[in-house]
């Protein structure tokens, strides 16, 4: 079986309160199966989560907890 969805009740994107360093827009966190990144919809850029880890908010933290498809 191969599904195009990545599981049940696990969103692939979430809105955070973390401001973009360039423009101040709240970043969105998005993921692929094994990668998580922050996207600024204003700058149209993506940022490594590591760059913003010091500013991690609740939305990002809970998102990260559900990120990985396979924890083994």
Residue nearest to Zn ion (CB): 20
Nearer to Zn ion, 23 or 69 (CB): 23
The tokens describing 17, both together, are 């309160």
Task: Tell how far CA 69 is from the center of its chain.
Answer: 14
Q: How far apart are alpha carbons 28 and 46 in whole angstroms?
A: 9
Count of CB atoms within 10 A of residue 65's CB?
9
Q: Which residues make up the interface to Zn ion (CB under 5 A)?
A: 20, 22-23, 25, 40, 42-43
Q: How far is the CB of 31 from Zn ion (least distance, A)?
A: 19
Nearer to Zn ion, 18 or 20 (CB): 20
């Amino acid at each position: 079986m191969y599904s195009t969805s990545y599981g049940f009740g696990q969103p692939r994107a979430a809105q955070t309160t973390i401001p973009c360093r360039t423009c101040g827009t709240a970043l969105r966190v998005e993921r692929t199966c094994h990668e998580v990144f922050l996207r600024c919809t204003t700058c149209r850029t993506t940022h490594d989560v590591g760059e913003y880890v010091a500013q991690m908010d609740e939305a990002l933290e809970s998102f990260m907890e559900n990120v990985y498809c396979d924890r083994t």
